[in-house]
Structures are given as structure tokens and as C-alpha cells.
Amino acid sequence: MDVHERELDTPWEGVLTTSTGGSDAAVLILAGSSGRVERERARLLAGQGLTALAMRWFGGPGQPPGICEIPLETFTDAVGLLRSTGASRIGILGVSKGAEAALLTAVRDPRVDMVVAVSPTDSVWCNVGPGHDGRHHPYRSSWSWQGEPLPFLPMDDSWTPGSPEGEPVAFTGWYELSRRTFGHLLPGAAIPVERARAGMLLVAGGDDKMWPSLPAAERLAARRRSAGAEVTVISRAEAGHRPRFPGESVLPASRAHLHGGTPHADAILGADAWPLIVAALRGVPDARPGD
């Protein structure tokens, strides 16, 4: 299938990737805290007959340099762009902080039909990096809506890394400690996925070292089920924070962060999830019942 790419530079950097003949189904692709435009992933999804928009949502011109009070309107505007292509079915595929954004957008935008949240969280967290003012602290929300910051969980700065100085750091323990320390804020910071009209597919590895995405996915699924809403969870105990889909290149190991898993386990989780992701985004019947 032929794939065509159109570079975007306004209102944000991105690439709109389409297959020959167009598509009734489109997907917004959101990277995590890497901030990259997921071009390779967009090409793969366009190769499956989807219109795919991969965008930079922070760190670009006019955007905060970090993930700090990012307007969720950034993503609802992107949904509108996809609708303008003629797509009648809209999905969002987000990873890590991008998954946080995807879930929050679906709660607020009824035009979203499906969310695929890879390595998700079930709570709104504080900023990662500086806002427009260049400040990292005091902690602020990662997100805003209609000009107001969303309630969030801050980090407990009493935490210290367990790894030797200069070695990659696992952050899961920091998030677990912060959930305990600020437990009184959990109800307000919870992502209310039970309110979203969209279907949801959650992908998480049990060896995630960046944050505890599998327990978060299980809590998200419980909220959905309590409301009688659709959800599917795909997991693998040995996989880490970065599942890779068939045809994607292997990501190099980070010198700063431990992501968990192994390239083999991450690839297996991605391969398990891929046909269900494509089916969910295209709106065809699921290949197997939800977990």
C-alpha cells in the first residue's frame, strides 16, 4: 500500500501520513516525554489503511519547553484536523505521558472513538520539565483545560535513586512513593476514564521501570468496568516501558533511564497488541474478547 506524507509546521510540527485512497479512520499519535514526532509509527499505521497524524506537543515553537500545563486543546484541535480530512472514526494512540494526554482528551472530546494507551498512568501527574517561564518548581500540573490547570499528583522529593551514581535510574519507586505520600490527592487527580465515550485498549509491561504502568492499567480497567464501559488490557510480565510494534526499529538503551524489559519481551508484547490495536483503530470486530 502506497503511503504519502505531508509535513506540518503550523500550528505545531508534525506529519500527516495517508494511504492511497484515503481512509474513514484516522489516528493521532502522541509520543511520551521524548518529545519526538513518531514518524515511523505513523507510516506503519498508514500502511494499515489509517490516516495518521504524529505531532510534537511540547518543546516546539510557541510550546512550553517541558510537559507543564500543556493545554488539552492542543489535542482536541488535532482531532479537529483529522476530522477535516474526512475521517469519521478518530483514535488516539499515546505512549507514557502521551497516553496520559490521550486518556484525558478522550474524557473531554466525544469525537474520540478509541484510545490506545501504551504504558499508561491512571492519574494526572505534575510537570516534567519547565513551563513557559522556564521554571521546574514548584510543581505544577502537566495539563490544563480551558485555561485552568488540572488537579495533579506532585512528586515526593525525599526519594533517592537506588542505582549507583552515573548509572541509569529506575523511577517506578519514586512514583509509588509519591502516590503514598500524596494519597489524599488521588481522588482529584484520577483520570475519570469511566466518563469517556471512546473505547479503550491498554498495553502495559509488568517490568516497567519508568512508572508502574501495569497496576495503573488495571486500575483504569476497573474504573471502566465499574461503569459498564468497554476496555481491553494486553500485558506481558517481562516487558518494560517501551513495547515495540512489528516493523518498528529497536530503541537504543538510555544512559540516563532504566525502561525495564528486554528488546525481545518488548517486541513480543508489541506483536501481541498490534493486531488488536489496528482492529480497534479501524473499528473492526476485536480479534478476541476483552480481558
> What backbone torsions phi and psi does residue 79 show, to the nearest 5 degrees?
-60, -40
Give 150's pLDDT tier (boundaries 50, 70, 90). Answer: very high
Q: What local confidence, expressed as pLDDT, does residue 287 receive? A: 46
pTM of this structure: 0.95
- CA neighbours closer than 13 Å in the CB half-sphere of residue 41: 25
pLDDT digits 0-9 by tens, 71-112:
999 999 999 999 999 999 999 999 999 999 999 999 999 999
Interval 119-139: pLDDT, tens? 999 999 999 999 999 999 999
Residue with cell 500527516: 16
Rounded to whole angstroms, the Cα distance separating 13 from 75 reads 13
The edge-to-edge listing of strands for the beta sheet with 143-145 is 70-71, 143-145, 148-149
- Stronger pLDDT, 10 or 207, i.e. the higher one: 207
Rounded CA gap, 118 and 262, in Å? 16
Check residue 179 and give its pLDDT: 98
Beta bridge partners of 16: 6, 53
**What's the chain look like in SS3?**
CCEEEEEECCCCCEEEEEECCCCCEEEEEECCCCCCCCHHHHHHHHCCCCEEEEECCCCCCCCCCCECCEECHHHHHHHHHHHHCCCCEEEEEEECHHHHHHHHHHHHCCCCCEEEEECCCCECEECECCCCCCCCCCCCECEEECCEECCCECCCCCCCCCCCCCCCECCHHHHHHHHHHCHHHHHHHECCHHHCCCEEEEEEECCCCCCCHHHHHHHHHHHHHHCCCCCEEEEECCCCCCCCCCCCCCCCCCCCECCCCCHHHHHHHHHHHHHHHHHHHHCCCCCCCCC
pLDDT value of position 286: 52
CA distance 245 to 243: 7
Domains, in order of start, for the chain: 3-282 (3.40.50.1820)
Is the distance from CB of 56 to CB of 129 less than 8 angstroms? no
Work out whether strand 25-30 and strand 51-55 pair parallel, antiparallel, or are unpaired.
Answer: parallel
* Top-confidence residue, 284 or 24: 24
Strand order of the β-sheet with 232-236 is 3-8, 14-19, 51-55, 25-30, 89-95, 114-118, 199-205, 232-236
Given CA atoms 88, 112, 50, 35 in this order, what sign does their dihedral have?
Answer: positive
Query: CA 240 to CA 104: how far, in whole Å?
Result: 23
What share of the chain in percent tops pLDDT 90? 90
pLDDT per position as a tens digit, 27-41 = 999 999 999 999 999
pLDDT at 186 over 70: yes
Query: What does the block give as the cell for 57?
Result: 506537543
Tens digit of each residue's pLDDT (9 = 90 or more) over 230-276? 999 999 999 999 999 999 998 888 988 999 999 999 999 999 999 99
Q: Please tell me the distance from the alpha carbon of residue 95 to that of residue 229, in angstroms, as a whole number.
A: 22
Res 21: pLDDT: 75
Does the pLDDT value for residue 290 go beyond 70?
no
First to last CA, the chain: 32
Whether 278 has a pLDDT exceeding 90, the answer reads yes
pLDDT score of 288 = 45
Q: Averaged over 170-186, what is the pLDDT? A: 98
> Rounded mean pLDDT of the chain?
95
